[in-house]
Amino acid sequence: MISAIKITNLDKKFRIQHHTERTLFHSFRNIFFRNYQYEEFYSLKNINLEINKGEFIGVIGANGAGKTTLLQLIAGIMKPTKGEILSNGKILPIIDLGSSINFELTGRENIFLSGSIIGLSKKEIKSKYSEIIRFSGLKKFIDVKTKHYSSGMKLRLIFSIYLLTNTDILLLDEVFGIGDIRFQKKCLKKMQDLVSEKKTFFLVSQSINLIRNFCDKVIFLDKGKIVYFGDSYVATKKYENLDMTSVETDYNEFGSKEIEITDVKLLNSEKKETTFFNKGEKMIIEIYYDNHKNIKNPMFGLAIFSNNVLLIGPNTSEANVLPFNLKKKGVVSFEIKQIPFQIKKCSLTVAIHSYHGDILYHRKERCKIINIKQNNKQYPFFKTEYNWSFR
Amino acid sequence: MRVKYALSLIREFTIVELKLRYQGSVLGYFWSLLNPLLMLATLYIVFSLITKFDVENYQLYLLLGILIWNFLSEATNGSMISLVNKSGLIKTFNFPSETIIISSCLAALITFLINFIIFFLFMLIFKVTLSFKLLLFPVYLLQLFIFVLGTSFLLSALYVKYRDMIYIWSFVLLIGFFATPIIYPIYIIPFEYLKYYLLNPLARMIVDMRDIVLFNYIPDPKNFIITFMISLLVFVFGYYIFRKNKHSFVEEI
């Protein structure tokens, strides 16, 4: 067997900048005042893979596991930080369906535009032209501007262009799920035909069924590492059983630490420290800080996440609670009168920013796990009472 | 293979840009001509009332200056934001991003050429003597294009990082408009300041281009060598910065 893609010792590192403003003024300020803040993190770490021609590969993993980055690296859109990717054949990345389409142009014009972007000559596009229109079923609308298309029609047009062109390796990033069932089936049928012609597919999807039914092998990524590569059933089972808490307790700290979070405590209605609460019960979150640089008016904030979904994210600036002349050392407490969350486990992130949020002093991510015992009572979110206080 | 791919992309992008620019407006292409003509009318009225420059065919003199300047500002302004405008494409396909800049400049050049045809008709109407010297004009246009392309590469790479480039550049263009002999003839510059004034390569270029087209005069080749070297230098520098930052576009855009 000839391999289609071979990846050895691949790393991809990103810099996250906490200053999102991209202006000259900010870079000057950063150079002179040395508060240029960024942190590095590995989107992919030590990836080794060998994919044979004609294989249908599934890629699964939680959001942020590095799936799209992997496809972008294979496609050559980004350069790896370390390691090597060898590929054999023409690669077509299908990462974002709208990007090669210009909505001001007609369907016909877009076939030529997208065709050239994915590397076809004018002659090749012309020879495939009628086949593309037949496959998409858009004959009647082909001279209509694509901005008047429905989202399903746009999808059909783009997919028809991509699938009918002669490429060896196709990278699909969560592009299923829109479009009607008939067209989806047509595409899957076409993809299977292509696989039997020794074309290679990568399919990123959250649909376990799709992965199980179509993929020969599956890559399961978690936090930038390959946890498992092999049988699709085993991989999807592992993904389904991925322990939520193992993700939640993985905690990180960032920031300049001009004000430092020294401790975070969770108290129940009896002011006892605990991590177990009942739904509807009172919860107090206490943030202990050390104000090293005597910063007068910072913003305290916290966020409660359930498996990467934000439940609440209150802060003192938003609530208009100003600490004025913050003490050297002290406690900020946040009180929820009645816990409204409908989930059993969530994580707490605590942060201190400057008043307008542009400088990060300290952030502790996922520093506490909150366990909530569920009951049948309903506590509507919007009626939940919060309260900030300083001691 | 890669070159062929790039060429076909440049062709497609240029066509699309030209198509989109005038689509959906009633007058279509004529806006791109009407705009400099209106500017000409305004400036002509103002400057023939306030001061009377001793220039033969002042209206044509002014119009050619405006058309050249419009080409420069349209190309650089368009290219500067084009990478960010096409960020979706940069993030999802592996293609040479130079093609975006080149096609932006080409679209502006094509608009200029069409305008120049109209300008040529004006020349016939005002009975300007035509000669074979006009054949030199494309050479001068080419060097201007090289200059503009280099500037565009530089600006677009900077704009990805610093979004305030757009304000800075519009200010530079405004200054440039008055620091270049567009509305006035170069002889109004006092002689002792002339050498500083001529540090602006565009001043030299525009003077030469007018000499060829309107005054039937072959400019000093020494001048051409200077401006051509400057244009090449700008191009090499601009493209070097672009190449150096090219790989980080996808992450920073």
Q: Report the number of secondary-structure helices (H) and strands (E) in chain B.
A: 11, 0
What residue numbers bound the domain in which B123 lies? 2-252
Nearest Cα residue in chain A from B253: A22
What local confidence, expressed as pLDDT, does residue A361 receive? Answer: 87
The C-alpha atoms of residue B162 and residue B42 are separated, in whole angstroms, by: 35
Residue A285, strand partner residues: A266, A334
Q: Are residues B93 and A77, on separate chains, in Cβ contact within 8 Å?
A: yes
d(CA A246, nearest CA chain B) in Å: 29
B-chain residues near A76 (CB < 8 A): 94
DSSP state of A242: -
- Does A245 score more than 50 pLDDT? no
Q: Tally A–B CB contacts below 8 A.
A: 75
Q: Are residues B164 and A99, on separate chains, in Cβ contact within 8 Å?
A: no
- Does A381 score more than 80 pLDDT? no
What local confidence, expressed as pLDDT, does residue A249 receive? Answer: 46
Residue A332, strand partner residues: A287, A390
What is the rounded average pLDDT for all residues in chain B?
A: 91
What local confidence, expressed as pLDDT, does residue A204 receive? Answer: 93
Q: How confident is the model at residue A355 (pLDDT cuts 50, 70, 90)?
A: confident
B-chain residues near A95 (CB < 8 A): 91-92
Q: Decide which of B31 and B146 is more confident.
A: B146
Token pair listed for A312:
């609440």
Q: How confident is the model at residue B72 (pLDDT cuts 50, 70, 90)?
A: very high
SS3 A382: helix
What local confidence, expressed as pLDDT, does residue A149 receive? Answer: 92
Token pair listed for A385:
């009472």
Q: Are residues B247 and A122, on separate chains, in Cβ contact within 8 Å?
A: no
- Does B2 score more than 70 pLDDT? yes
Q: Cα–Cα distances in Å, from A92 out to B62, B193, B203?
A: 51, 59, 48
Q: Are residues A104 and B23, on separate chains, in Cβ contact within 8 Å?
A: yes
- Does B28 score more than 80 pLDDT? no
The C-alpha atoms of residue B120 and residue B58 are separated, in whole angstroms, by: 15
Q: Are residues B16 and A116, on separate chains, in Cβ contact within 8 Å?
A: no
- Does A199 score more than 80 pLDDT? yes
What local confidence, expressed as pLDDT, does residue A377 receive? Answer: 79
d(CA B253, nearest CA chain A) in Å: 10
Half-sphere exposure of A282 (CA within 13 A, CB side): 13
Lowest mean pLDDT among A111-115, B90-94, B200-204, B248-252: B248-252
What local confidence, expressed as pLDDT, does residue A182 receive? Answer: 86
Q: Are residues B12 and A113, on separate chains, in Cβ contact within 8 Å?
A: yes
Residue in the block written with tokens 């602006």: B200
Please check whether residue A254 is in contact with residue A307, taking contact to mean a CB–CB distance below 8 angstroms: no
d(CA B93, nearest CA chain A) in Å: 6
Please check whether residue A368 is in contact with residue A304, taking contact to mean a CB–CB distance below 8 angstroms: no
Partner residue facing A96 (CB), from B4, B88, B161: B88
pLDDT in tens, A305-337: 887 777 888 888 877 777 777 888 888 889 888
- Does B50 score more than 90 pLDDT? no
How far is C-alpha A254 from the geometric centre of its chain's CA atoms? 20
Strand segments (E) across A1-95: 3-17, 38-52, 56-60, 82-87, 91-94
- Does B237 score more than 50 pLDDT? yes
What local confidence, expressed as pLDDT, does residue A37 receive? Answer: 61
d(CA A231, nearest CA chain B) in Å: 29
- Does A33 score more than 70 pLDDT? no
Amino acid identity, residue B18?
L
**Helices B58-85 and B165-179: crossing angle, nearest 10°?**
170
Q: How confident is the model at residue A248 (pLDDT cuts 50, 70, 90)?
A: very low
- Does A75 score more than 80 pLDDT? yes
What local confidence, expressed as pLDDT, does residue B165 receive? Answer: 93
Q: How confident is the model at residue A247 (pLDDT cuts 50, 70, 90)?
A: very low
**% of residues, chain B, pLDDT over 90:** 67
Number of domains in chain B: 1
The C-alpha atoms of residue A268 and residue A276 are separated, in whole angstroms, by: 8
Partner residue facing B164 (CB), from A23, A79, A121: A23
- Does B247 score more than 60 pLDDT? yes
Q: Are residues B9 and A118, on separate chains, in Cβ contact within 8 Å?
A: no
Does domain A3-245 fall into CATH 3.40.50.300?
yes
Q: How confident is the model at residue B25 (pLDDT cuts 50, 70, 90)?
A: low
What local confidence, expressed as pLDDT, does residue B96 receive? Answer: 94
- Does A175 score more than 80 pLDDT? no
Half-sphere exposure of B249 (CA within 13 A, CB side): 33
What is the rounded average pLDDT for all residues in chain A?
A: 85
Partner residue facing B93 (CB), from A14, A100, A102: A100
Q: Where are the alpha helices (DSSP H) in chain A?
A: 24-33, 67-75, 107-117, 122-136, 151-163, 181-196, 208-214, 232-240, 244-248
d(CA A96, nearest CA chain B) in Å: 6
What local confidence, expressed as pLDDT, does residue A32 receive? Answer: 59
Average pLDDT over residues B20-28: 71
A-chain residues near B91 (CB < 8 A): 72, 77, 95-96, 99
Residue of A90, A113, A117 best to disrupt the B interface, most CBs of B under 10 A: A117
What local confidence, expressed as pLDDT, does residue A38 receive? Answer: 67
d(CA A100, nearest CA chain B) in Å: 6
Residue in the block written with tokens 């015992």: A373
Average pLDDT over residues B69-92: 94
Please check whether residue B43 is in contact with residue B183, taking contact to mean a CB–CB distance below 8 angstroms: yes
Partner residue facing B92 (CB), from A24, A95, A109: A95
What local confidence, expressed as pLDDT, does residue A28 receive? Answer: 67
Residue of B4, B19, B89, B92 best to disrupt the A interface, most CBs of A under 10 A: B92
pLDDT in tens, B156-199: 999 998 888 999 999 999 999 999 999 899 989 999 999 899 99
In 10 A of CB A251, how many CB atoms? 14
Quick one: CATH architecture of A247-390? Answer: Distorted Sandwich (2.70)
Q: Decide which of A379 and A83 is more confident.
A: A83
Nearest Cα residue in chain A from B87: A99
d(CA A50, nearest CA chain B) in Å: 22
Domain ranges, ordered by start, for chain A: 3-245, 247-390
Nearest Cα residue in chain B from A14: B251
What local confidence, expressed as pLDDT, does residue B224 receive? Answer: 94
Average pLDDT over residues A295-300: 84
Average pLDDT over residues B209-231: 93
Q: Are residues B16 and A93, on separate chains, in Cβ contact within 8 Å?
A: no
- Ranked by mean pLDDT, the top range of A247-261, A353-367, B5-19 is B5-19
Average pLDDT over residues A203-213: 88
Q: How confident is the model at residue B29 (pLDDT cuts 50, 70, 90)?
A: confident
